[in-house]
Structure formats: C-alpha cells, structure tokens
Amino acid sequence: MNVPNLKASSFKSDITPIWCPGCGDFHVLLSVTKALAELGRAPEDIAVISGIGCSSRIPAYTACYGFHGVHGRSLAVAAGLKVARPDLTVMAMSGDGDGFSIGGNHFLHACRRNVDMTYIVMDNRVYGMTKGQPSPTTESDWDSALSPGGTGLRSFHPLVIALASGANFVAREFSGDIKGCTRTIVEAVRHPGFSFVEILSPCVTFRPDEKAWKDQVHVASVPETDDPARAARRIMTDDGMNTGILYRGPRAPYHASVSDREVDLAPLERAFEI
Amino acid sequence: MTEIPGSSRNISFAIVGTGGAGAITAGSLLLEAAGKAGWYGLLTRSVGPQIRGGEAAALVRLSTASAACMSKEFDILVAIDWKNADRFIGAMPVAPGGLVICDPEAGPPPRAVREADCTLIECPIGELAKSVQGGRENMIATGLVAQLIGMPMDELSAVVLEMLKSKGEAAQQASLACLRIGAEAAAAFGQSRPLAAPRPHDSKRWLITGNEAIGLGAMRGGVRFAAAYPITPATEVLEYLAPALAATGGALVQAEDELASINMIIGASFGGRPSITATSGPGLSLMMESLGLAAASETPLVVIDVMRVGPSTGIATKSEQSDLNIAVYGFHGDAPHVVVAPLSVSDCVLCGQWAMHLAETLQTPVIVLSDQSIGQARVLIDRPADVTFLTRRKPFVATGEPYQRYAITADGVSPMAIPGQPGGQYTAEGLTHTERGSPSSARVDQHAQMVKRHGKIENFDFGDYWGVDEGDGASDTVILTWGSLTGAAREAIDSLSEEGIPARLIALRQISPFPGERLKALLAGTRRLLIVEQSFSGQFHRHARAHIDLPGEVRLLNREGPYNIGPEEIVAAIREWRAQ
C-alpha cells in the first residue's frame, strides 16, 4: 500500500545509533530512509535484514521490520523472507566482512538465485567491530595486529563477482553522496531481481585514510549498461572510485513464492493409498 | 483367501543383486502387491554409496499384523547375482531351514550362505529372463518369490502393469511373462514358505516411507515453506515436500548449503510462514549457530534430523541414534528448545505435525530426531489417525502502546507481530535484548529473557504425547528406549509375553525437555531397567541419568551402527537377566 506524506524521519526509529562519530554508516542510514520515503511504501511493509558487524546494526535504527541475525547469513534470511512473503519490500544490509568473507558463498548464490530484493553492503575495507582486522576488500599490504605487514592476499572485487554470478542490478556509491546513494537505492529497489549496491562507507576509526575518499570518488563518466561483458570490462579497469549504476539486467526474478491460498491435503493423503 | 497349510504370520525375504540389477524394484513390487492383498509389511534397502555397480539388496518382511522392524533372519534369499555380496551378506542371514535361490551361472554363493543351514536351490534366472524378449532377471526373481509365499498373481500383475505404464505394452507384457515363468519355476522346486492369509480389512493400506511420512506430518502441521540442501538419508523428506508444497501454494527453495537453509527458514518464519528443513548429522552440525539464533530470537521452526552413522561423514546409508547429544546439548549458551523423536514410520506423521505445532505455539526451534532405519524404510500401514492441535502463534494486536516483541508474559510466550502488521515493527534480535528487542548487555535483561525462554518450554504441558507405556504395567522389568528402536522393543515384549515373561515398555517421543517427573512416577517400583539405544556411548542413558535417579538395577543394551539392535537381542538380554 502506498502511503502519502512519508518523510525520511518516518523510517527512523528512536534508537540512537552506536556508530563512531564520523562513520559513513550514518549517511547510509539517512540515504536509506530518504529512499524509502521516496518509494512510498509504509514502514510495516519493509523488512531490513542484517548479519553481524557495525553496519549490521542498521535494522533497529529504522522503523521497519528488522532481523539482526548471525554473522554472514543475512542474504539467506532475506531470501527466505521474500519467497515466503512476496508482498514485502526486502532489503539486506551488510558490511564487507559479513558479506564477502563469512557470507561470501551466500553472496554468489544470492546473485544466481535473483530473488527480488536489494542488497546494500557498506564497504569500509576493515572489520571495525572487532577493532581493525583486514577484510576481503582490504588492500593486501594493510598492516594490522592480526596480519602484520598485510595479508598478502589479492583484494576481493564485489562488483565483478556480482556481475559474473548473475546479479540483476549492480551499482557503487559513496556514503557521503546522499543524493547519489538515495537515487541509486530507489532504483535498486524498483528493479526486479537481485540488486546489489556497494556503498563505500569510511571507517574513520580504523581506516582514517578513508577520510580522503570524499575527494577521490567521482561519478562514472559512462552511462549504465545492460551488457554484462561491457560492465565487467569497465569495472575491472576503473580506479575503484567510480560511482553510479553500472549494470541493469533483464533476468526474470526467482520464480517460487508462498501464497495465501487454502490448502487441501486430501490429494496428498490419497497418494499413499494402494 | 483360504489359509494355506503350514503358513506363517511373518515371512521375510531378501533379493540381492548388483546395484542396477533391479533387486530393489523387485522388493518394492512385492511389497506393494502385498499391501493390495491386505498384508502389512516393511522394506529396507541395503545399498552402497554407489548408485550402480555397488551392492544392492531389498529386504522385505511381510506380515498379517503391523511390521515394526526388519527380521534378523530371512526365510528366502534370492540372488540375481552374487557380485559384491561378500560385503553385505552378513547383514541378511538365512533362517535355519531357509531357502536360497541362485543362478548357477552367477558363480558360487558366498561362504556365509554355503555354510548356512539352508536349502540351496539352483535356478537359471538369467537364462529364464533371456527366454523372453525384453525380459529382466528381477522380474523372474519377483515371480519366484510370489510363488513361494503364495502371493496372488492378480495383485502382483496389476502393480507391475501400473509401474510400467509409461514404458509401453511390450515392456509390460515382457514383465508379466517373466513373472509367470518365475512362478512356474518356483512351483517346480517342491518347496514353499506360504504367508498366512491377511485379516479382513475395509480401508486401503498406505504405502509410505518414514521420510515421506514426516513430510506429510509437517504438511498436516501447516508447513508453508521449506529450504533444502541434499544429504543422505534425509533428502527424501525434502523431495517429498518440494511437490507437496508447490501443489498447495507453498514453496521449497534449494539452498547453497545448510547454513543457508536454516537461515532461509528463519527468514520465512519471521515472515509468518510455518517453516521446515531436513538434514542429517553433518548438516545439523552446520546449523547449530543459527538454531541458537532461532532460540534467542524466538523464531518458530522445525529441523528434521534423519540420523545416520557418525561421527563426521560416517556411514551415510546406515542408522544410528547418536545425534541426541548435539540436538539437545549442541547449542552454545543456554538455549531452551524442543527435541522429539518418532517411534515408528507411522508415528513420523504424528511427530512431523506435532513438531510444527510445538514450534509455532512455543515460538522456538524444534528438532525431530528420526533416523535412517525408519526414514528410508518403506512400510504398509493403516492410515495414520487424524490428530487436531490448536496451533497458532500468539498474535500481536495493535493497541497504540509501543510494541514489545519479547514482553514477559505468564506463560513466557510473547505476542508475535508479522511483517505487514502496522504498529508491530520490531527487530528480531540475536543479541541479548530488552523486552522491546533493543540490544542490551544489562544483567537484568539477560536474566529476564533467560527465565522467560526457559519457562515457556519447561512449563508447557506436552500432554500425552511424551511417549508410550505398553506391555505388562504390573511388571517390575522395564525396557526404556526412544525413537526408532521402539519397534524392536515392542516385538521384544510381545515375544517375552509369549514365553510367559512379563515386561513393560516405556518409549520416549519427548526427548527435551526431558519428561523427568513423569518418568520418575512411571518407573516407581522398577527392579530391572533395561535401556536400549543405538549409540556407542549410551547418549540416551546419560541424558536420562542427568535428569532423574533411575530406580532398581539398570543395564544398558547399546551399540553404534550400522547393525540395528533387533527384538531377539532385547529378548535375550531380559531372559538372561531373569535367569541370574
């Protein structure tokens, strides 16, 4: 049901976020609530699903239904919910550790499955809640107590993986660009199938170097495409700081869903008669 | 049907052959035809992990009364071939005086058969099959057994025609010809093992496996969503539910792993749909963290664990009752939940339904401990009785007051809002939380919610479904068991009774919370308590001891898989005990 006069504040709860001052996630929360106001559905028709980590605290800060689950499994919870309740708008929200490391396998299969929902990953390239360990998107030489001198591992490229795995909508935004984030989230929710939005969201505490992101990001100079090969080439050759909608695909969303219809068990029971 | 002289109320036979030879099909056909004729029966498969080329045997027991477990010995053994038979023939010993029918072209029988006290009959099964264009050896074997046990050919032919409906008339006729040729060959043996005539009955028998039965039970219990990751021996639960849900407006999603399947059902249940998954030990291990989430967030769901031999990958195709510990005690933190176990294939229907009822009513995860021995057994039963539970989630009703999802209530169960309900918005939470659901690290919240979650389960009245108390209620000799071994124990107390030894059987369906007070009262005055279970370490025994002081002298009859404990072993243990 569409509700008139919704504002961003209609989607904010009265709980004060516990993020560090200056955390990019405040801006993501603001963009999400602005986008929801623009989408015009009542808060009770929206579900925000998360895992574990700083960014995964977000459901309780919204006025929607929420689920704060275990580490890495938000996409599975969200997929189950959307198939069970196709009438709801379902959004999964996660961080780079939650979404790409412990939850990496679910990410691949969520892209393949293409359930009609939106996945927002607040990527700060660090585990913040556990106080500064490298995540899959962290640069290989980033020094930390857990991996002195860096992990030596190639960093993960979520957008390329999403494209290769079949996500139907792929975008990157920067948390500080509220307008850009809001617009892209609205488009992501509206697009059928699995929509993936990576939001670069600085961790000012453990990655103070990311404060420079605001000067490094730039709106992509080329328009979005529906050609996955073109999108992949673009995203693999850019500087990692391009923002905007990269890819919007035509795949049909996942087919199955639960309906409210009356259940007649008699035919199932008769099938066992001999 | 007139009674055949010398007939038995129970006949067991085994048909063996290389995987792909059709031994299982032969057994299945005979079982179904027996059901049409009015007998009861049970079929288990002995198969290797390979689909083809490994060993395969259909073990069938037919009976004039309900058949709860497989016989220890077989009256008839038909070998289509002996390839790989050495590996598993020990599991199907021939009864003294039994018949072994084999093809001389198939080589010598294994030593266990050669040395058995049985009548060996050579029959050119392969040659007979070749005498019919498109003929198959397993159909010859089917005809042989049908003749030997006195199976009406009309019923059998009808079942064969139905099975081969899609294969065309030539295939149907070839199979019927093989049945006739097999039966004629057997008539010339001068031997038979006739089954006594079935009792008159007016309702149609059901032919069903434990895995199908538990799925049907869940359907009766209102399940609308399932998530699935394949694993032996639980896959058939999911393969049953997939079309059953699709046909009734529900849905099943195949997940990428068990971590996903448990979390998908958490999501679907959060959305207000009764939800289920099925797995076996390795999958249950993967699900443990999220089962804890379901307990903490008070999300109703059911996990069917069809237990197999463990630990680790163990023996995927054989049975054990060794997941009791993980199911009851495997959660980190204190996470009250419910664990139940079906007592038979037929009871799987009740348990599946009951589990859905308990999960929804108590807003908690329920684990159902079935196992391979009943999950993959195909049985002929009477239609399981209809049971009515007043199942509902305590509903949220908007009052204008701020909604408290985890409100402290008298029974510990809080009203649960469903997404879409205005004014009910909350965040389901795995962190320690307040009544409203806000994360908290305060001692007072941890305590209040712990007491609430514990109380809603401990104080719930599970009614008469806790288990069964059968046999001689006055006897001071009690067999205590749980889950699938109830069938063997039932047969044991019947045999003991025929010998004039009174014994009582207590079998638990309710494993956790443990029905300690009830059991204590039932066991008062017991002098001999024999605990029977299929686990190496006696997990059930320890579980019982952790809750109550067991009366009298206690003995344990237990063993790990893959060989199931049978009635004769229970009878022997009691007989020996009483003789001392």
Instruction: Please give the single-letter amino acid code of residue B373.
Output: S
Residue extents of the structural domains in chain A: 10-270
Cβ atoms of residues B413 and B336 within 8 Å:
no
Q: Does residue B387 lie in a domain region?
A: no
Q: Which chain B residue has its CA at the smallest distance from A102's CA?
A: B259
- Tell whether B114 and B127 lie within a shared domain: yes
Cα–Cα–Cα angle for B125, B44, B255, rounded to 5 degrees = 120
- Tell whether B106 and B235 lie within a shared domain: no
Kindly report, residue by residue over B527-564, the tens digit of the pLDDT: 999 999 999 999 999 999 999 999 999 999 999 999 99
d(CA B496, nearest CA chain A) in Å: 34
Closest CA to B477 of B466, B488, B493: B493
Which pLDDT score, from 0 to 100, does residue B363 have?
98
Say whether B315 sits in a helix, a strand or coil.
strand
Mean predicted confidence (pLDDT) in B472-482: 96
d(CA B159, nearest CA chain A) in Å: 10
Kindly report the CATH number assigned to the domain that includes residue B53. 3.40.920.10
Cβ atoms of residues A231 and A249 within 8 Å:
no
CB proximity list for B8: less than 8 A, separation 6 or greater: B75, B193, B194, B195, B196
Kindly report the CATH number assigned to the domain that includes residue B550. 3.40.50.920
CA distance A186 to A191: 9
The reply to whether residue B224 touches residue A66, judged by beta carbons under 8 angstroms, is no
CA distance A258 to A260: 7
CA distance B88 to B101: 17
The verdict on A81 touching B (C-beta cutoff 8 Å) is yes
Kindly report, residue by residue over B43-75, the tens digit of the pLDDT: 998 876 555 566 789 999 999 998 888 888 999
Kindly report, residue by residue over B417-428, the tens digit of the pLDDT: 999 999 999 999
Mean predicted confidence (pLDDT) in B374-384: 97
How far apart, in Å, do the first and last CA atoms of chain A sit? 49
Residue numbers of the domain that contains B241 = 207-381
Domains in chain B: how many in total?
4
Q: Which chain A residue has its CA at the smallest distance from B263's CA?
A: A77
d(CA A238, nearest CA chain B) in Å: 32
Which pLDDT score, from 0 to 100, does residue B293 have?
98
The reply to whether residue A60 touches residue B428, judged by beta carbons under 8 angstroms, is no
Which pLDDT score, from 0 to 100, does residue B4 have?
62
Which pLDDT score, from 0 to 100, does residue B53 have?
60
Using CA atoms in the order A10, A16, A17, A22, what is the torsion angle rounded to 10 degrees?
100
Mean predicted confidence (pLDDT) in B209-235: 98
CA distance B423 to A216: 43
pLDDT confidence of B3, banded at 50, 70, 90? low
Q: Which chain A residue has its CA at the smallest distance from B349's CA?
A: A269
CA distance B361 to B391: 6
Q: Which residues face B8 on adjacent strands?
A: B195
How far apart, in Å, do the first and last CA atoms of chain B sit? 47
CA distance B511 to B355: 12
Residues of A in contact with B417 (CB under 8 A): 65
The reply to whether residue B253 touches residue A15, judged by beta carbons under 8 angstroms, is no
Cβ atoms of residues B416 and B298 within 8 Å:
yes
Q: Which chain B residue has its CA at the smallest distance from A11's CA?
A: B425
Question: Mutation test of the interface with chain B: which of A70, A117, A165, A273, choosing the one with the most B Cβ atoms within 10 A?
Answer: A70
- Tell whether B165 and B213 lie within a shared domain: no
Q: Cα-flanking dihedrals φ and ψ of residue B282, to 5°?
A: -60, -40
Q: Which chain A residue has its CA at the smallest distance from B261's CA?
A: A76
- Tell whether B290 and B183 lie within a shared domain: no
Which pLDDT score, from 0 to 100, does residue B67 have?
87
Mean predicted confidence (pLDDT) in A164-170: 97
d(CA A239, nearest CA chain B) in Å: 33
> What is the enclosing helix (H) or strand (E) of B508?
strand B504-508
DSSP for B356-395 reads: HHHHHHHTSEEEEEEEHHHHS-EEEEPPPPP------PPB
Q: Does residue B200 lie in a domain region?
A: no
- Tell whether B230 and B176 lie within a shared domain: no
DSSP for A38-91 reads: HHTB-GGGEEEEE-SSSGGGGGGGBSSEEEE-STT-HHHHHHHHHHH-TTSEEE
* Other beta carbons within 10 Å of B518: 17
Using CA atoms in the order B204, B207, B213, B217, what is the torsion angle rounded to 10 degrees?
-20
Picking from B381, B410, B432, the residue at the C-terminal end of a domain is: B381
Residue B336 half-sphere exposure, CB side, CA atoms within 13 Å? 20
CA distance B24 to B28: 6
- Tell whether B475 and B456 lie within a shared domain: no
- Using CB atoms, pick whichever of A57, A84, A259 lies closest to residue B271: A84
d(CA A27, nearest CA chain B) in Å: 21
d(CA A111, nearest CA chain B) in Å: 12
* Other beta carbons within 10 Å of A153: 12
Residues of B in contact with A68 (CB under 8 A): 427-431, 439
pLDDT reading at A97 higher than 60:
yes
Q: Does residue B455 lie in a domain region?
A: yes
Which pLDDT score, from 0 to 100, does residue B56 have?
85
- Tell whether B222 and B330 lie within a shared domain: yes
Report how many Cβ contacts below 8 Å link chain A to chain B.
193
d(CA A98, nearest CA chain B) in Å: 14
- Tell whether B48 and B97 lie within a shared domain: yes
Sign of CA dihedral B69, B72, B73, B77: positive
Which pLDDT score, from 0 to 100, does residue B249 have?
97
CA distance B129 to B21: 12
Which pLDDT score, from 0 to 100, does residue A187 have?
98
Cα–Cα–Cα angle for B86, B88, B90, rounded to 5 degrees = 90
The verdict on A211 touching B (C-beta cutoff 8 Å) is no
Cβ atoms of residues B381 and B343 within 8 Å:
no
d(CA A138, nearest CA chain B) in Å: 25
- With a pLDDT cut of 70, the percent of chain A lying above it is 99
Which pLDDT score, from 0 to 100, does residue B50 have?
52
Q: Scan for tokens 């397993």, then name that residue.
A: B138
CA distance B409 to B480: 36
Using CA atoms in the order B569, B494, B373, B321, what is the torsion angle rounded to 10 degrees?
-60
CA distance A183 to A180: 5
Cβ atoms of residues B228 and B246 within 8 Å:
no
The verdict on A92 touching B (C-beta cutoff 8 Å) is no
Sheet holding A46-50, edge to edge: A218-219, A242-248, A169-174, A194-200, A117-123, A89-95, A46-50, A65-68, B427-429
pLDDT reading at B277 higher than 80:
yes
- Tell whether B401 and B452 lie within a shared domain: yes
The verdict on A84 touching B (C-beta cutoff 8 Å) is yes
- Using CB atoms, pick whichever of B216, B272, B419 lies closest to residue A44: B419
pLDDT confidence of B200, banded at 50, 70, 90? confident
Q: Does residue B310 lie in a domain region?
A: yes
- Using CB atoms, pick whichever of B225, B261, B419 lies closest to residue A258: B225
CATH topology of domain A10-270: Rossmann fold (3.40.50)
- Tell whether B342 and B358 lie within a shared domain: yes
- Tell whether B44 and B175 lie within a shared domain: yes
Residues of B in contact with A65 (CB under 8 A): 270, 417, 419, 424-427
Q: Of A20-24, B71-75, B256-260, B443-447, which range is least confident?
A: B71-75
> What is the enclosing helix (H) or strand (E) of A199?
strand A194-200
Closest CA to B106 of B87, B125, B121, B120: B125
Residues 94-133 of chain A with CB under 8 A from chain B are: 105-106, 108-109, 113
- Using CB atoms, pick whichever of A63, A68, A272 lies closest to residue B207: A272
User: Helices then strands (H, E): number in chain A?
Assistant: 9, 8
- Tell whether B219 and B306 lie within a shared domain: yes
Kindly report, residue by residue over B388-398, the tens digit of the pLDDT: 999 889 999 99
Cβ atoms of residues B402 and B436 within 8 Å:
yes
The reply to whether residue A273 touches residue B273, judged by beta carbons under 8 angstroms, is no
Say whether A125 sits in a helix, a strand or coil.
coil
Residues of A in contact with B438 (CB under 8 A): 15, 60
Sign of CA dihedral A8, A11, A14, A16: negative
Distances in Å between the Cα of B320 and the Cα atoms of A140, B229, B305, B536 are 47, 21, 11, 9
Kindly report, residue by residue over B142-196, the tens digit of the pLDDT: 999 999 999 999 999 999 999 999 999 999 999 999 999 999 999 999 999 999 9
d(CA B83, nearest CA chain A) in Å: 34
The verdict on A269 touching B (C-beta cutoff 8 Å) is yes
The verdict on A215 touching B (C-beta cutoff 8 Å) is no
Kindly report the CATH number assigned to the domain that includes residue B220. 3.40.50.970
Kindly report, residue by residue over A224-251, the tens digit of the pLDDT: 999 999 999 999 998 999 999 999 999 9
Mean predicted confidence (pLDDT) in A211-223: 94
Q: Does residue B194 lie in a domain region?
A: no
The verdict on A76 touching B (C-beta cutoff 8 Å) is yes
CB proximity list for A8: less than 8 A, separation 6 or greater: A30, A33, A34, A36, A37
The reply to whether residue B260 touches residue A109, judged by beta carbons under 8 angstroms, is yes
Q: Does residue B269 lie in a domain region?
A: yes
Q: Which chain A residue has its CA at the smallest distance from B422's CA?
A: A44
Average predicted confidence (pLDDT) for chain B: 95
pLDDT reading at A213 higher than 80:
yes
CB proximity list for B252: less than 8 A, separation 6 or greater: A256, B225, B226, B227, B228, B238, B241, B242, B245, B246
Picking from B357, B381, B405, the residue at the C-terminal end of a domain is: B381
Kindly report, residue by residue over B63-115, the tens digit of the pLDDT: 999 888 888 899 999 999 888 777 778 888 899 999 999 999 988 898 888 88
Q: Cα-flanking dihedrals φ and ψ of residue A123, to 5°?
A: -100, 110
Residues of A in contact with B222 (CB under 8 A): 263
